[in-house]
């Protein structure tokens, strides 16, 4: 398996192997290099936040972590197991460890809200109908949505869709959670609610989270570590307090919300 290969050996060594390791990840779409040699490690129980400008490749990177996109080059290693080299059946197994909320919700429009959040529970647990309904209600309450179970997804506002997607991601209480901009487009209060849920889950030592956000305030609230993605490369990774004082002029401008002259690839 993975440990027969040289570069994965690096991951195995030491007492605390990272939950997620990304090694030299490259991806090109239609001649445009979107990811250009990404390396990162996320430890078990860590809340890792990726920030960066729109179009920097954040969503593409997140989709690589769960194997929705295959890289042109490089490896994604989950619990020491190479997701990139796994066959279809094995990668399905590995994905059971994950929950993911998508930037646009990606709710099943053939089902109502209840059906959406119940979906992973019905697929992967033996819970009874009542237990599922209770779990769904609980997840919806966490994101401050109540009594919407029977609504069609088309009746929801953008922010509600995103919160239902978030609830669906956490329903199974997976080991690894990937959130693609969970609080974009939410008002400050509701956005704070989502942050609160993430912070609370961070207390559980066995939940590893990777969150993408534009919102630096939220990043500082929820992160154990923050990484800055720029033009397909991670230009800095640091703990929140250290991240604030990084000298990189681009990061300083990003933090201050000042315009930068971007060299568009």
Ligand X SMILES: Nc1ncnc2c1ncn2[C@@H]1O[C@H](COP(=O)(O)OP(=O)(O)OP(=O)(O)O)[C@@H](O)[C@H]1O
Contact residues for Mg ion, defined by CB under 5 A: 59, 103
Q: Report CA-CA distances (Å) from 173 to 45, 63, 122, 134, 150.
A: 13, 19, 14, 14, 23
165: left (phi over 0), alpha (psi -120 to 50) or beta: alpha
What counts of helices (H) and strands (E) characterise the chain?
10, 10
Radius of gyration, CA atoms only, the chain: 19
Cβ-based nearer residue to another protein, 153 or 191: 153
Asked if 98 and 177 touch (Cβ cutoff 8 Å), the reply is yes
200 binds, options Mg ion, another protein, ligand X, none, Cβ within 5 to 8 A by partner type: none
Asked if 167 and 143 touch (Cβ cutoff 8 Å), the reply is yes
Cβ-based nearer residue to another protein, 104 or 155: 104
120 binds, options another protein, ligand X, Mg ion, none, Cβ within 5 to 8 A by partner type: another protein
- 13 is a contact residue toward ligand X (CB under 6 A): no
Residue with tokens 């994604």: 76
- Name the DSSP class of 102: B
- Among 18, 67, 182, 232, contact with another protein (rule: CB under 8 A): 67
- 66 is a contact residue toward another protein (CB under 8 A): yes
Nearest residue to the partner Mg ion, using Cβ? 59
Contacts (CB under 6 A) with ligand X, residues 189-228: none
Q: What is the binding site for another protein (CB under 8 A)?
A: 63, 66-68, 88, 92-93, 95-96, 98-100, 102, 104, 106-109, 119-120, 123-124, 178
């Amino acid at each position: 398996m993975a440990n027969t290969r040289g570069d994965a050996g690096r991951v195995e060594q030491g007492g605390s192997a990272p939950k997620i390791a990304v090694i030299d990840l490259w991806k090109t779409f239609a001649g445009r290099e979107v990811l250009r040699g990404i390396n990162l490690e996320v430890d078990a129980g860590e809340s890792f936040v990726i920030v960066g400008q729109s179009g920097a490749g954040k969503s593409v990177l997140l989709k690589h972590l769960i194997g929705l996109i295959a890289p042109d080059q490089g490896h994604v290693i989950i619990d020491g197991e190479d997701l990139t080299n796994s066959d279809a059946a094995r990668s399905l197994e590995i994905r059971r460890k994950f929950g993911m909320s998508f930037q646009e919700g990606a709710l099943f429009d053939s089902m109502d809200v209840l059906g959406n959040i119940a979906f992973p529970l019905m697929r992967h647990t033996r819970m009874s109908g009542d237990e599922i309904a209770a779990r769904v209600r609980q997840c919806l309450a966490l994101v401050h949505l109540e009594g919407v179970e029977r609504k069609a997804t088309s009746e929801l506002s953008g922010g509600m869709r995103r919160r239902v997607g978030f609830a669906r991601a956490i329903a199974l209480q997976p080991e690894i959670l990937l959130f693609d901009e969970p609080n974009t487009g939410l008002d400050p209060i509701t956005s704070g609610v989502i942050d609160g849920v993430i912070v609370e889950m961070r207390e559980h030592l066995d939940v590893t989270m990777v969150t993408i956000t534009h919102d630096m305030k939220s990043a500082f609230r929820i992160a154990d570590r923050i990484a800055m993605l720029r033009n397909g490369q991670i230009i800095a990774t640091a703990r929140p307090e250290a991240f604030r004082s990084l000298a990189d002029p681009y990061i300083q401008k990003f933090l201050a919300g000042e315009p930068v002259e971007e060299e568009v690839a």
